[in-house]
Amino acid sequence: MTDVSKEQVLERLRTVRGPDMDGNIVDLGLVSDVFISDGKAYFSITVPAERARELDPMRAAAERVVKDIPGITAAMVALTADKRAAAGPAAARAPAPPPPG
């Protein structure tokens, strides 16, 4: 069995378009935690929390292209919520800071 490198996985993931069809998920900095073990590739794609369900086809596409790499038998892809993007609505529910002085 051929060892597959993280670079090969990232190169293949560059064919997957970003959330708004601009750029690709690697160059947009959305892919992280790439780990390859025993022919299985594991990685995360960071997305805005409120769009996770809508962006599941992007996750599926990333999984599909990685599974097509010779030597990869499975791909485990997690959508990870971007906490900065999710901070908007959460901040509205947070208590206001005390006034200065």
Residues 17-73 have pLDDT tens digits of 998 888 999 999 999 999 999 999 999 999 999 999 999 999 999 999 999 999 999
Record the pTM.
Answer: 0.78
Helix and strand totals (H; E) in the chain: 3, 3
Our measurement of the distance from residue 34's CA atom to the centroid of its chain's CA atoms, rounded to an integer in Å, reads 10
Architecture of domain 6-85: 2-Layer Sandwich (3.30)
CA dihedral over 37, 59, 69, 22, signed as positive or negative: negative
> How far, in Å, CA of 84 to CA of 92, rounded?
14
